[in-house]
Copies of this chain bind each other. A is one copy, B any other.
Protein backbone atom coordinates (compact mmCIF):
# COMPACT_ATOMS: atom_id res chain seq x y z
CA UNK A 1 0.00 0.00 0.00
CA UNK A 2 1.49 3.33 -0.88
CA UNK A 3 2.25 6.11 1.55
CA UNK A 4 -0.51 8.34 0.28
CA UNK A 5 -3.26 5.80 0.90
CA UNK A 6 -1.77 5.03 4.31
CA UNK A 7 -1.77 8.71 5.31
CA UNK A 8 -5.39 8.91 4.23
CA UNK A 9 -6.30 6.70 7.21
CA UNK A 10 -5.33 9.62 9.44
CA UNK A 11 -7.28 12.27 7.58
CA UNK A 12 -10.24 10.42 6.19
CA UNK A 13 -10.79 7.14 8.05
CA UNK A 14 -13.90 5.07 7.36
CA UNK A 15 -13.95 3.92 10.97
CA UNK A 16 -12.43 5.31 14.15
CA UNK A 17 -12.08 3.93 17.66
CA UNK A 18 -11.21 6.36 20.44
CA UNK A 19 -9.44 4.34 23.11
CA UNK A 20 -9.77 6.19 26.38
CA UNK A 21 -13.08 7.83 25.42
CA UNK A 22 -14.61 9.13 28.61
CA UNK A 23 -17.73 10.73 30.10
CA UNK A 24 -15.58 12.93 32.35
CA UNK A 25 -15.49 16.41 30.83
CA UNK A 26 -11.99 17.24 32.01
CA UNK A 27 -10.44 14.23 30.26
CA UNK A 28 -8.74 14.48 26.88
CA UNK A 29 -10.55 11.29 25.87
CA UNK A 30 -13.84 13.06 26.42
CA UNK A 31 -13.04 16.09 24.27
CA UNK A 32 -11.68 14.01 21.40
CA UNK A 33 -14.63 11.64 21.36
CA UNK A 34 -17.05 14.53 21.60
CA UNK A 35 -15.39 16.29 18.63
CA UNK A 36 -16.05 13.22 16.48
CA UNK A 37 -19.54 12.60 17.86
CA UNK A 38 -20.59 16.18 17.21
CA UNK A 39 -19.11 16.23 13.73
CA UNK A 40 -20.87 12.93 13.00
CA UNK A 41 -24.19 14.33 14.15
CA UNK A 42 -23.65 17.30 11.86
CA UNK A 43 -22.90 14.99 8.95
CA UNK A 44 -19.32 16.24 8.57
CA UNK A 45 -17.61 13.13 9.91
CA UNK A 46 -19.04 10.26 7.89
CA UNK A 47 -17.12 7.29 9.28
CA UNK A 48 -18.08 4.73 11.95
CA UNK A 49 -17.28 5.83 15.48
CA UNK A 50 -16.56 3.64 18.52
CA UNK A 51 -15.69 4.66 22.07
CA UNK A 52 -13.40 2.16 23.81
CA UNK A 53 -13.03 2.12 27.58
CA UNK A 54 -13.48 -0.87 29.93
CA UNK A 55 -14.86 1.46 32.63
CA UNK A 56 -17.71 2.96 30.62
CA UNK A 57 -20.77 1.38 29.05
CA UNK A 58 -22.00 4.38 27.09
CA UNK A 59 -20.23 7.60 26.08
CA UNK A 60 -22.36 10.45 24.72
CA UNK A 61 -24.99 7.98 23.59
CA UNK A 62 -22.54 5.64 21.85
CA UNK A 63 -22.18 2.05 23.03
CA UNK A 64 -18.74 1.74 24.64
CA UNK A 65 -16.45 -1.28 24.06
CA UNK A 66 -14.03 -2.72 26.62
CA UNK A 67 -11.41 -3.29 23.89
CA UNK A 68 -11.00 -2.65 20.14
CA UNK A 69 -11.00 -6.42 19.66
CA UNK A 70 -14.64 -6.49 20.79
CA UNK A 71 -15.80 -4.12 18.05
CA UNK A 72 -17.72 -6.04 15.40
CA UNK A 73 -17.01 -3.95 12.30
CA UNK A 74 -13.72 -2.91 10.76
CA UNK A 75 -11.55 -0.30 12.50
CA UNK A 76 -9.20 1.64 10.26
CA UNK A 77 -7.89 4.09 12.80
CA UNK A 78 -7.43 4.05 16.57
CA UNK A 79 -6.84 7.18 18.58
CA UNK A 80 -5.07 6.30 21.79
CA UNK A 81 -5.64 8.53 24.83
CA UNK A 82 -4.61 6.36 27.78
CA UNK A 83 -1.62 6.51 30.17
CA UNK A 84 1.68 5.65 28.47
CA UNK A 85 2.11 2.36 30.39
CA UNK A 86 -1.05 0.91 28.88
CA UNK A 87 -0.30 2.02 25.33
CA UNK A 88 1.66 -1.14 24.33
CA UNK A 89 -1.29 -3.30 25.38
CA UNK A 90 -3.70 -1.17 23.39
CA UNK A 91 -1.41 -1.35 20.38
CA UNK A 92 -1.27 -5.14 20.64
CA UNK A 93 -5.03 -5.32 20.63
CA UNK A 94 -5.17 -2.96 17.65
CA UNK A 95 -2.74 -5.22 15.83
CA UNK A 96 -4.94 -8.22 16.56
CA UNK A 97 -7.94 -6.28 15.28
CA UNK A 98 -6.12 -5.47 12.04
CA UNK A 99 -6.21 -1.71 12.56
CA UNK A 100 -4.42 0.20 9.81
CA UNK A 101 -3.20 3.26 11.65
CA UNK A 102 -2.87 4.65 15.17
CA UNK A 103 -2.56 8.12 16.59
CA UNK A 104 -1.01 8.10 20.03
CA UNK A 105 -2.02 11.32 21.73
CA UNK A 106 -0.62 10.27 25.11
CA UNK A 107 2.70 11.67 26.31
CA UNK A 108 5.15 10.05 28.71
CA UNK A 109 7.49 8.27 26.27
CA UNK A 110 10.91 9.22 24.95
CA UNK A 111 10.45 12.87 25.91
CA UNK A 112 10.66 11.89 29.59
CA UNK A 113 13.20 9.12 29.07
CA UNK A 114 10.79 6.14 28.75
CA UNK A 115 12.60 4.66 25.77
CA UNK A 116 11.48 1.15 26.81
CA UNK A 117 7.86 2.03 26.09
CA UNK A 118 8.88 3.66 22.85
CA UNK A 119 10.65 0.51 21.71
CA UNK A 120 7.67 -1.71 22.50
CA UNK A 121 5.26 0.51 20.60
CA UNK A 122 7.54 0.73 17.57
CA UNK A 123 7.97 -3.05 17.42
CA UNK A 124 4.27 -3.84 17.69
CA UNK A 125 3.37 -1.31 15.01
CA UNK A 126 6.11 -2.43 12.67
CA UNK A 127 5.22 -6.11 12.98
CA UNK A 128 1.58 -5.34 12.29
CA UNK A 129 2.28 -2.93 9.44
CA UNK A 130 0.43 -0.23 11.33
CA UNK A 131 1.36 3.42 10.73
CA UNK A 132 1.74 5.52 13.87
CA UNK A 133 1.37 9.25 14.45
CA UNK A 134 2.88 10.50 17.70
CA UNK A 135 3.12 9.72 20.52
CA UNK A 136 2.90 12.94 22.54
CA UNK A 137 1.04 14.81 19.82
CA UNK A 138 -2.19 16.60 19.03
CA UNK A 139 -2.87 14.49 15.98
CA UNK A 140 -5.03 15.63 13.12
CA UNK A 141 -7.65 18.25 12.40
CA UNK A 142 -9.35 18.27 9.00
CA UNK A 143 -12.23 20.71 8.62
CA UNK A 144 -13.65 18.90 5.58
CA UNK A 145 -13.75 15.31 6.88
CA UNK A 146 -14.62 16.28 10.45
CA UNK A 147 -11.59 14.49 11.89
CA UNK A 148 -10.74 16.49 15.01
CA UNK A 149 -8.34 14.92 17.49
CA UNK A 150 -7.58 18.14 19.34
CA UNK A 151 -8.10 17.39 23.00
CA UNK A 152 -8.29 21.13 23.65
CA UNK A 153 -11.93 22.14 23.75
CA UNK A 154 -13.04 25.10 21.67
CA UNK A 155 -14.21 27.00 24.73
CA UNK A 156 -13.20 27.30 28.34
CA UNK A 157 -15.13 28.41 31.40
CA UNK A 158 -13.24 31.08 33.29
CA UNK A 159 -13.10 31.49 37.06
CA UNK A 160 -15.68 34.25 36.52
CA UNK A 161 -18.08 31.66 35.11
CA UNK A 162 -17.91 33.17 31.62
CA UNK A 163 -17.42 30.86 28.68
CA UNK A 164 -14.90 32.11 26.09
CA UNK A 165 -13.42 30.78 22.85
CA UNK A 166 -10.00 29.35 23.62
CA UNK A 167 -9.00 26.94 20.85
CA UNK A 168 -11.01 27.87 17.77
CA UNK A 169 -11.01 25.64 14.70
CA UNK A 170 -10.39 27.61 11.50
CA UNK A 171 -12.71 27.21 8.56
CA UNK A 172 -11.86 25.11 5.54
CA UNK A 173 -9.22 26.61 3.28
CA UNK A 174 -5.97 26.01 1.46
CA UNK A 175 -3.20 26.12 4.03
CA UNK A 176 -1.84 22.89 5.51
CA UNK A 177 -0.17 23.14 8.90
CA UNK A 178 2.44 20.52 9.64
CA UNK A 179 3.91 20.97 13.08
CA UNK A 180 6.20 19.14 15.42
CA UNK A 181 5.00 21.18 18.39
CA UNK A 182 1.40 20.72 19.39
CA UNK A 183 1.36 23.86 21.49
CA UNK A 184 2.54 25.93 18.58
CA UNK A 185 0.04 24.15 16.38
CA UNK A 186 -2.96 25.25 18.40
CA UNK A 187 -1.56 28.75 18.57
CA UNK A 188 -1.47 28.69 14.79
CA UNK A 189 -5.10 27.53 14.66
CA UNK A 190 -6.09 30.33 17.03
CA UNK A 191 -4.21 32.89 14.97
CA UNK A 192 -5.52 31.74 11.61
CA UNK A 193 -9.10 31.43 12.86
CA UNK A 194 -8.92 35.01 14.14
CA UNK A 195 -7.47 36.25 10.85
CA UNK A 196 -10.06 34.24 8.89
CA UNK A 197 -7.48 32.23 7.01
CA UNK A 198 -8.83 28.76 6.24
CA UNK A 199 -6.84 25.54 6.50
CA UNK A 200 -6.88 22.30 4.51
CA UNK A 201 -5.20 19.98 7.00
CA UNK A 202 -3.60 20.23 10.42
CA UNK A 203 -1.19 17.63 11.71
CA UNK A 204 0.93 17.61 14.85
CA UNK A 205 3.67 14.94 14.95
CA UNK A 206 4.95 14.96 18.48
CA UNK A 207 7.73 12.41 18.99
CA UNK A 208 7.56 11.13 15.41
CA UNK A 209 8.06 7.40 16.11
CA UNK A 210 6.94 6.50 12.63
CA UNK A 211 5.21 9.08 10.46
CA UNK A 212 7.35 12.19 10.04
CA UNK A 213 7.78 15.09 7.63
CA UNK A 214 8.58 13.10 4.46
CA UNK A 215 5.40 10.96 4.40
CA UNK A 216 3.27 13.90 5.36
CA UNK A 217 4.70 16.21 2.74
CA UNK A 218 4.27 13.54 0.07
CA UNK A 219 0.65 13.19 1.10
CA UNK A 220 0.07 16.93 0.94
CA UNK A 221 1.62 17.14 -2.50
CA UNK A 222 -1.28 14.99 -3.73
CA UNK A 223 -3.90 16.66 -1.57
CA UNK A 224 -6.11 18.80 -3.76
CA UNK A 225 -7.24 21.00 -0.88
CA UNK A 226 -3.70 22.03 0.01
CA UNK A 227 -2.13 24.89 -1.86
CA UNK A 228 0.47 26.09 0.64
CA UNK A 229 2.31 24.11 3.32
CA UNK A 230 3.30 25.75 6.59
CA UNK A 231 5.93 23.57 8.20
CA UNK A 232 7.03 24.10 11.79
CA UNK A 233 10.17 22.16 12.64
CA UNK A 234 12.42 21.82 15.65
CA UNK A 235 14.57 19.03 14.26
CA UNK A 236 14.55 16.78 11.21
CA UNK A 237 15.93 13.28 11.57
CA UNK A 238 15.38 11.82 8.12
CA UNK A 239 17.39 14.47 6.32
CA UNK A 240 18.03 12.76 2.99
CA UNK A 241 14.48 11.54 2.60
CA UNK A 242 13.17 14.95 3.64
CA UNK A 243 15.27 16.74 1.04
CA UNK A 244 14.19 14.43 -1.74
CA UNK A 245 10.50 14.78 -0.94
CA UNK A 246 10.71 18.53 -0.41
CA UNK A 247 12.47 19.01 -3.74
CA UNK A 248 9.61 17.25 -5.47
CA UNK A 249 7.00 19.43 -3.82
CA UNK A 250 8.41 22.93 -3.92
CA UNK A 251 8.18 23.10 -7.70
CA UNK A 252 4.42 22.61 -7.29
CA UNK A 253 3.45 23.97 -3.88
CA UNK A 254 5.33 26.41 -1.69
CA UNK A 255 6.64 25.12 1.63
CA UNK A 256 7.12 27.86 4.22
CA UNK A 257 9.25 26.71 7.11
CA UNK A 258 9.75 28.04 10.60
CA UNK A 259 12.76 26.13 11.89
CA UNK A 260 13.68 26.91 15.48
CA UNK A 261 17.05 26.78 17.13
CA UNK A 262 18.63 29.57 15.07
CA UNK A 263 20.89 30.48 17.97
CA UNK A 264 22.83 28.58 20.60
CA UNK A 265 20.27 29.31 23.28
CA UNK A 266 17.51 28.22 20.94
CA UNK A 267 19.35 25.02 20.01
CA UNK A 268 19.90 24.23 23.69
CA UNK A 269 16.22 24.77 24.39
CA UNK A 270 15.33 22.56 21.43
CA UNK A 271 17.39 19.69 22.76
CA UNK A 272 15.74 19.84 26.16
CA UNK A 273 12.34 20.11 24.53
CA UNK A 274 12.46 17.28 22.03
CA UNK A 275 15.53 15.33 23.08
CA UNK A 276 16.66 15.54 19.46
CA UNK A 277 19.84 17.16 18.31
CA UNK A 278 18.86 20.27 16.48
CA UNK A 279 21.83 20.20 14.11
CA UNK A 280 23.78 23.15 12.87
CA UNK A 281 21.47 25.90 11.84
CA UNK A 282 23.62 26.70 8.83
CA UNK A 283 23.15 23.19 7.48
CA UNK A 284 19.39 23.63 7.66
CA UNK A 285 19.68 26.97 5.92
CA UNK A 286 21.64 25.45 3.10
CA UNK A 287 19.30 22.46 2.77
CA UNK A 288 16.23 24.68 2.67
CA UNK A 289 17.75 26.89 0.00
CA UNK A 290 18.76 23.88 -2.10
CA UNK A 291 15.31 22.33 -2.10
CA UNK A 292 13.37 25.57 -2.48
CA UNK A 293 11.84 25.81 0.98
CA UNK A 294 11.06 29.37 2.05
CA UNK A 295 12.50 29.76 5.51
CA UNK A 296 11.13 32.53 7.72
CA UNK A 297 12.63 34.17 10.79
CA UNK A 298 9.67 34.60 13.11
CA UNK A 299 6.19 33.41 13.91
CA UNK A 300 4.59 36.49 12.45
CA UNK A 301 6.48 36.14 9.18
CA UNK A 302 5.44 32.48 9.06
CA UNK A 303 1.76 33.37 8.95
CA UNK A 304 2.22 36.49 6.82
CA UNK A 305 4.09 34.61 4.14
CA UNK A 306 1.61 31.76 4.21
CA UNK A 307 -1.17 34.24 3.54
CA UNK A 308 0.79 35.75 0.64
CA UNK A 309 1.17 32.38 -1.09
CA UNK A 310 -2.53 31.56 -0.88
CA UNK A 311 -3.59 34.71 -2.65
CA UNK A 312 -0.70 35.79 -4.82
CA UNK A 313 1.49 34.28 -7.46
CA UNK A 314 5.26 34.36 -7.11
CA UNK A 315 7.19 37.23 -8.68
CA UNK A 316 9.05 36.74 -11.94
CA UNK A 317 12.01 38.79 -10.72
CA UNK A 318 13.17 40.96 -7.87
CA UNK A 319 12.27 44.45 -9.05
CA UNK A 320 9.68 45.80 -6.67
CA UNK A 321 7.63 48.99 -6.97
CA UNK A 322 6.15 50.77 -3.97
CA UNK A 323 3.09 52.99 -4.33
CA UNK A 324 2.19 55.03 -1.28
CA UNK A 325 0.40 58.09 0.02
CA UNK A 326 2.81 58.49 2.92
CA UNK A 327 6.52 59.13 2.56
CA UNK A 328 7.70 57.57 5.82
CA UNK A 329 6.00 54.20 5.45
CA UNK A 330 7.22 54.10 1.84
CA UNK A 331 10.77 54.34 3.12
CA UNK A 332 10.11 51.64 5.74
CA UNK A 333 8.97 49.29 3.01
CA UNK A 334 11.97 50.18 0.82
CA UNK A 335 14.35 49.56 3.71
CA UNK A 336 12.90 46.16 4.46
CA UNK A 337 12.76 45.16 0.77
CA UNK A 338 16.38 45.96 0.25
CA UNK A 339 17.53 44.23 3.40
CA UNK A 340 15.71 41.14 2.11
CA UNK A 341 17.60 41.31 -1.19
CA UNK A 342 14.88 42.87 -3.34
CA UNK A 343 15.55 45.68 -5.74
CA UNK A 344 13.61 48.91 -5.17
CA UNK A 345 15.46 50.66 -7.98
CA UNK A 346 14.56 53.87 -9.75
CA UNK A 347 11.72 53.40 -12.26
CA UNK A 348 12.60 53.34 -15.93
CA UNK A 349 12.67 56.63 -17.80
CA UNK A 350 9.61 55.59 -19.76
CA UNK A 351 7.62 55.00 -16.57
CA UNK A 352 8.81 58.22 -14.96
CA UNK A 353 7.76 60.03 -18.12
CA UNK A 354 4.29 58.54 -17.86
CA UNK A 355 3.98 59.81 -14.29
CA UNK A 356 5.10 63.26 -15.40
CA UNK A 357 2.36 63.20 -18.01
CA UNK A 358 -0.19 62.33 -15.33
CA UNK A 359 1.06 65.31 -13.34
CA UNK A 360 0.62 67.64 -16.30
CA UNK A 361 -2.93 66.42 -16.72
CA UNK A 362 -3.56 66.93 -13.03
CA UNK A 363 -4.26 63.21 -12.58
CA UNK A 364 -1.72 62.83 -9.78
CA UNK A 365 -0.40 65.64 -7.55
CA UNK A 366 2.23 67.86 -9.20
CA UNK A 367 4.47 67.41 -6.14
CA UNK A 368 4.24 63.61 -6.06
CA UNK A 369 7.66 61.97 -6.03
CA UNK A 370 7.89 59.31 -8.69
CA UNK A 371 11.26 57.60 -8.68
CA UNK A 372 10.27 54.61 -6.49
CA UNK A 373 8.42 54.74 -4.21
CA UNK A 374 5.72 56.52 -6.12
CA UNK A 375 4.53 58.84 -3.34
CA UNK A 376 1.13 60.29 -4.19
CA UNK A 377 1.19 62.30 -0.94
CA UNK A 378 -1.63 63.20 1.41
CA UNK A 379 -3.47 64.83 -1.52
CA UNK A 380 -4.18 61.41 -2.99
CA UNK A 381 -7.60 60.34 -4.22
CA UNK A 382 -8.86 56.92 -5.20
CA UNK A 383 -8.60 57.85 -8.88
CA UNK A 384 -4.94 58.76 -8.43
CA UNK A 385 -4.23 55.39 -6.86
CA UNK A 386 -5.79 53.71 -9.81
CA UNK A 387 -3.88 55.80 -12.35
CA UNK A 388 -0.58 55.24 -10.55
CA UNK A 389 -1.07 51.52 -10.07
CA UNK A 390 -1.99 51.08 -13.74
CA UNK A 391 1.37 52.40 -14.92
CA UNK A 392 3.22 50.16 -12.47
CA UNK A 393 1.21 47.12 -13.55
CA UNK A 394 1.96 47.88 -17.20
CA UNK A 395 5.71 48.29 -16.65
CA UNK A 396 7.19 44.89 -17.55
CA UNK A 397 10.41 45.69 -15.69
CA UNK A 398 8.50 45.68 -12.41
CA UNK A 399 7.89 42.24 -10.94
CA UNK A 400 5.86 43.00 -7.84
CA UNK A 401 3.95 45.90 -6.30
CA UNK A 402 3.58 46.94 -2.67
CA UNK A 403 0.52 49.15 -2.13
CA UNK A 404 0.69 51.28 1.00
CA UNK A 405 -2.74 52.80 1.34
CA UNK A 406 -2.81 54.77 4.55
CA UNK A 407 -6.42 55.64 4.97
CA UNK A 408 -5.88 58.77 7.07
CA UNK A 409 -5.42 61.12 4.12
CA UNK A 410 -8.58 63.22 3.78
CA UNK A 411 -9.46 62.52 0.15
CA UNK A 412 -9.05 58.77 0.23
CA UNK A 413 -12.15 56.59 0.48
CA UNK A 414 -12.44 52.83 0.54
CA UNK A 415 -13.08 52.58 -3.20
CA UNK A 416 -9.37 52.94 -3.90
CA UNK A 417 -9.09 49.33 -2.79
CA UNK A 418 -11.74 48.21 -5.30
CA UNK A 419 -10.16 50.19 -8.12
CA UNK A 420 -6.64 48.92 -7.56
CA UNK A 421 -7.77 45.35 -6.93
CA UNK A 422 -9.95 45.14 -10.03
CA UNK A 423 -7.15 46.56 -12.15
CA UNK A 424 -4.61 44.08 -10.83
CA UNK A 425 -6.77 41.12 -11.88
CA UNK A 426 -5.71 41.68 -15.48
CA UNK A 427 -1.99 41.39 -14.77
CA UNK A 428 0.11 38.41 -13.76
CA UNK A 429 2.02 40.41 -11.19
CA UNK A 430 1.95 39.90 -7.43
CA UNK A 431 0.61 42.66 -5.23
CA UNK A 432 0.56 42.99 -1.45
CA UNK A 433 -0.89 45.82 0.62
CA UNK A 434 -0.60 47.60 3.95
CA UNK A 435 -2.61 50.03 5.99
CA UNK A 436 -1.46 51.11 9.44
CA UNK A 437 -3.72 51.42 12.43
CA UNK A 438 -5.74 49.36 14.86
CA UNK A 439 -9.10 51.12 14.77
CA UNK A 440 -12.12 50.85 12.53
CA UNK A 441 -11.03 52.14 9.14
CA UNK A 442 -7.62 50.44 9.13
CA UNK A 443 -9.17 47.04 9.83
CA UNK A 444 -11.81 47.70 7.21
CA UNK A 445 -9.26 48.60 4.53
CA UNK A 446 -7.07 45.59 5.29
CA UNK A 447 -9.98 43.17 5.22
CA UNK A 448 -11.24 44.76 1.99
CA UNK A 449 -7.87 44.08 0.35
CA UNK A 450 -7.90 40.55 1.74
CA UNK A 451 -11.31 39.90 0.25
CA UNK A 452 -10.00 40.80 -3.17
CA UNK A 453 -7.13 38.37 -2.70
CA UNK A 454 -4.53 41.05 -2.11
CA UNK A 455 -3.01 40.09 1.21
CA UNK A 456 -2.89 43.11 3.50
CA UNK A 457 -0.57 43.62 6.44
CA UNK A 458 -0.45 45.98 9.33
CA UNK A 459 3.09 47.29 8.86
CA UNK A 460 5.12 48.24 5.78
CA UNK A 461 7.83 45.82 6.87
CA UNK A 462 5.37 42.92 7.05
CA UNK A 463 4.19 43.69 3.52
CA UNK A 464 7.79 43.87 2.31
CA UNK A 465 8.63 40.51 3.88
CA UNK A 466 5.62 38.93 2.23
CA UNK A 467 6.74 40.30 -1.13
CA UNK A 468 10.27 39.05 -0.47
CA UNK A 469 8.93 35.52 -0.07
CA UNK A 470 6.99 35.79 -3.35
CA UNK A 471 10.18 36.93 -5.06
CA UNK A 472 12.35 34.25 -3.48
CA UNK A 473 9.96 31.52 -4.51
CA UNK A 474 9.54 32.96 -8.01
CA UNK A 475 13.29 32.97 -8.53
CA UNK A 476 13.50 29.36 -7.35
CA UNK A 477 10.76 28.28 -9.75
CA UNK A 478 12.48 30.13 -12.59
CA UNK A 479 15.76 28.42 -11.79
CA UNK A 480 14.01 25.06 -11.87
CA UNK A 481 12.19 25.93 -15.09
CA UNK A 482 8.82 25.50 -13.39
CA UNK A 483 7.64 29.10 -13.14
CA UNK A 484 5.19 29.05 -16.03
CA UNK A 485 3.73 25.72 -15.01
CA UNK A 486 3.22 26.87 -11.43
CA UNK A 487 1.64 30.07 -12.66
CA UNK A 488 -0.78 28.15 -14.81
CA UNK A 489 -1.97 25.91 -12.01
CA UNK A 490 -2.09 28.86 -9.60
CA UNK A 491 -4.32 30.76 -11.99
CA UNK A 492 -6.59 27.76 -12.43
CA UNK A 493 -6.92 27.43 -8.66
CA UNK A 494 -7.63 31.14 -8.33
CA UNK A 495 -10.56 30.83 -10.72
CA UNK A 496 -12.30 28.36 -8.42
Contacts and interface: CB of A to CB of B under 8 A. Distances in A.
Nearest to A192: B438
A193 interface: yes
A369 interface: yes
A262 B367 contact: no
A378 interface: yes
B408 A167 contact: yes
A482 to B, nearest CB: 29
A194 B444 CA distance: 13
Given A187-B437, A329-B183, A408-B186, A338 B459 contact: no
Contact of A265 (B325, B337, B406): B337
Interface stretch (A54-62, A125-133, A150-158): A150-158
A236 B151 CA distance: 56
Interface residues of A, number: 97
Interface in A143-168: 151-153, 156, 158-160, 164-168
A168 B59 CA distance: 53
A317 interface: no
A181 interface: yes
A151 B334 contact: no
Interface stretch (A90-98, A223-231, A409-417): A409-417
Pairs A-B, 9 closest by C-beta atoms: A194-B438, A190-B437, A183-B326, A181-B328, A266-B335, A187-B436, A263-B338, A184-B328, A273-B327
A331 interface: yes
Contact of A183 (B108, B261, B325, B415): B325
A263 B332 CA distance: 10
A107 B409 CA distance: 14
